[in-house]
Amino acid sequence: MRFKSWPRPTPFEDTPRKRAAYRRKREREQAALPLFAPAIAERQLCVAEEMVRRTGQWERQQQEGRRQRAASWRRVRARLFALEGARRRAIRALWRVCPYPADPSYFGTLLHEIATGRIDPERPPWGAAHALNPRTTPNPAGFAEAFRQIGQRTVGGGRKTVGADERLFCGNLGSGILFLTTRVRLIEPNESFYTSSSHRLRDSHVGSSGHWADIEVRGPCSDEEFRRITRLARAADTRPVVMRRIDPIAGRPGREIERSAPTVTGADADLPAFQARQFDRDLRPEPNPPSERAPGPMAGDVIGVATMAAKQDAGSCPYPGPSPNPPP
């Protein structure tokens, strides 16, 4: 039977460091109670006597450790030989190849796991490649069944605006694990908003026409699965939903990026022309970085909103296309 032999007994090592440490210990004990220092010094052993005491204690500890280990081996071997012959031989063969250390405690753990049915001696959980069966939902009935939330953070916000909640979902429809990032956006970008718990994608009952849900899909996703996710998202939320595929390694050297327009669902047919242009403006990449643009009022600034409203009244709309509020 496989076992780990006990190390050979070694004599106690009397070193100058141990003697110096014992002297400091005596001084600390006397300094702790200055009034009783003479009485404490009388009861303390000298350095030579302390080394002799430690030598005897070291030998007794080694002997006691060997005795306890031998007793442990006798107990677990008695449990092994209490079994029938065929099962005992199977367990002994399993113990020779199992990754457990060759200690009596681990052998007792193996016997307990076999007795409780957690390990089958004929089919142990080690020594062979086991196929992994990931949890998939090929035909989910709803968004909550296909995806579960694994993260949440607050994005945006500033001195005069409130941040929005961005939630991360994960699921597997069959092709691989998918990560969905959802964020509620405003159709009117000049309005400060806060995404409360009632605006969650999977249990929304608000149905507000002033918001739309932006969903980014990352991971291996076929066209059929992408359409299925779109249907589930539209069924779970009454607001317009925009689905986008995001390449997680886009921009790396040697990676060809397919630049295609994002798939917009449930927006063009239900929203007016002005709101549809807002979708297109929010999804279109900016031609210049923010540092190259001319300084102007922020969207959340009260003065900036008033200035933009004045421009709209004057017939100069900052958005492309006809102004939603044409001058009289």
Q: Does 50 fall in a domain?
A: yes
Question: What's the domain range around 27?
Answer: 16-115
Q: How many helices (H) and strands (E) does the chain have?
A: 9, 6
User: Are 129 and 271 within 8 A, CB to CB?
Assistant: no
Q: Does 120 fall in a domain?
A: no
What are the pLDDT digits (tens) for 67-124?
Answer: 999 999 999 999 999 999 999 999 999 999 899 999 999 999 999 999 999 998 888 8
- Kindly give the interhelix angle for 85-97 and 47-81, rounded to the nearest 10 degrees: 130
User: Are 111 and 80 within 8 A, CB to CB?
Assistant: yes
What are the pLDDT digits (tens) for 251-267?
Answer: 444 444 343 334 444 44
What are the pLDDT digits (tens) for 151-208?
Answer: 999 887 766 566 778 999 999 998 889 999 998 887 766 555 444 444 444 444 333 4
| The predicted structure's pLDDT at residue 186 | 76
Q: Does 65 fall in a domain?
A: yes
Same domain? 155 vs 233: yes
| The predicted structure's pLDDT at residue 315 | 43
Determine what percent of the chain falls in helix, strand and coil, rounding each to the nearest 5. Answer: 40, 15, 45
Average pLDDT over the chain, rounded to whole?
A: 76
What's 299's DSSP letter? T
Same domain? 94 vs 150: no
Same domain? 209 vs 327: no
Q: Does 165 fall in a domain?
A: yes
Same domain? 110 vs 22: yes
What are the pLDDT digits (tens) for 42-57?
Answer: 999 999 999 999 999 9
